[in-house]
Each structure stands twice: as C-alpha cells, then as structure tokens.
C-alpha cells in the first residue's frame, strides 16, 4: 500500500511539474513593462488615471507584456525613496525602470486640440535608454472613445 502511495505521489509531482513548466517559460517570453501615468492635457487627472489603467489592462490582455501593477510600482519606488512626482523625462523613466527591474517603460500623454484627441505613447528600453516603439493616434469624439483607441495603441507597441 505504501508503494502505491509513493508511486501516486511521484506521478502527481511530475504531472504538476510538467504542466507548470510551459507556464514558466511563457512568462519569461513576455516583456516586463511598467507604465507611468499618462500626462493629461485638457482632461482631468481622474480621466488620465482611468485611461492609464485601461492602457495597462490592454497591455496585459494582448499577452505579450508582463505589466507591473500601479500599486506594486508605487510600493517598490517608495521603498527605494524615489519621488515619482515630476518625473516626465526619458532619463527619469529609465531610472525608474531600473529600480523596478523591468525591461521597458511606457510613458505618454493624452491631449485635446479643438475637437481632436491625441494619444501618444512611447516605450523606452531600460537597458539602452532609447525609445524602442512609439504610437501616436488621433480621435474625434467624446473622451470615452479613447478607450477603443487604446487597443490600437497597444497593438502598435506589440
């Protein structure tokens, strides 16, 4: 009876290992990214924060990016004494990315010119400090229409 239990336990352990191995490999293939809050120009801070959250969600949904959650990002930066306020330059984004241990940082802005909305997002390679990808999209309509535009932006960055 104990031989049967040992055999079953060994079988169960191997099964768990074999099924978890592809998941670990898949997570390694994704690009680790942290997303800074989008700068709002002509919209409220709350709208900019909501759109930033949606950008993070869309990046996760596409399956190519491993995105650091906002709360986790803030906690890690606070532990290291980093002030995120006023951090808008590429150099600052790269420094933040190094502290967070990610491969890339996404920054950008949402603005309104007349009746036209503009959404610009840049992806920085934390290792080199260079812009690796850019997406610039325009939209005419209500602010809620920007939610759909974010899917296109994420596809541009993929």
Q: Tens digits of per-residue pLDDT, 7-24?
A: 444 444 444 444 443 333
CATH number of the domain where residue 46 is located:
3.40.50.10610
Residue 152 lies in a domain: yes
Residue 48's domain spans which residues? 30-157
Residue 97 lies in a domain: yes
- pTM equals 0.76
Q: Between 53 and 26, whose confidence is greater?
A: 53
Residue 6 lies in a domain: no
Residue 9 lies in a domain: no
Residue 12 lies in a domain: no
Residue 7 lies in a domain: no
pLDDT of residue 130: 94
Residue 146 lies in a domain: yes
pLDDT digits (tens, 9 = 90+) for 83-119: 766 677 888 888 999 999 999 999 999 999 888 999 9
Rounded to the nearest integer, the mean pLDDT of the chain is: 83
Domain count, the chain: 1
Residue 8 lies in a domain: no
Residues 139-152 have a mean pLDDT of 89
Distance between CA atoms of 142 and 129, rounded to whole angstroms? 35
pLDDT of residue 11: 45
Residues 136-155 have a mean pLDDT of 91
Cα 49-104-40 angle, rounded to 5 deg: 25
């Amino acid at each position: 009876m104990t031989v049967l239990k040992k055999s079953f336990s060994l079988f169960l352990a191997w099964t768990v290992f074999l099924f978890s191995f592809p998941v670990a490999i898949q997570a390694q293939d994704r690009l680790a990214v942290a997303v800074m809050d989008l700068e709002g120009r002509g919209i409220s801070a709350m709208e900019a924060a909501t759109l930033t959250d949606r950008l993070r969600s869309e990046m996760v949904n596409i399956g190519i990016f491993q995105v650091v959650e906002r709360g986790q990002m803030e906690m890690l930066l606070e532990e290291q004494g980093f002030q995120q306020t006023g951090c808008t330059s590429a150099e600052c984004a790269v420094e933040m990315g190094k502290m967070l241990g990610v491969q890339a940082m996404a920054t950008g802005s949402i603005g309104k010119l007349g009746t036209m909305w503009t959404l610009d997002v840049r992806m920085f390679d934390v290792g080199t400090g260079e812009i690796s990808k850019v997406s610039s999209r325009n939209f005419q309509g209500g602010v809620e229409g920007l939610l759909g535009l974010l899917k296109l932006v994420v596809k541009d960055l993929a």
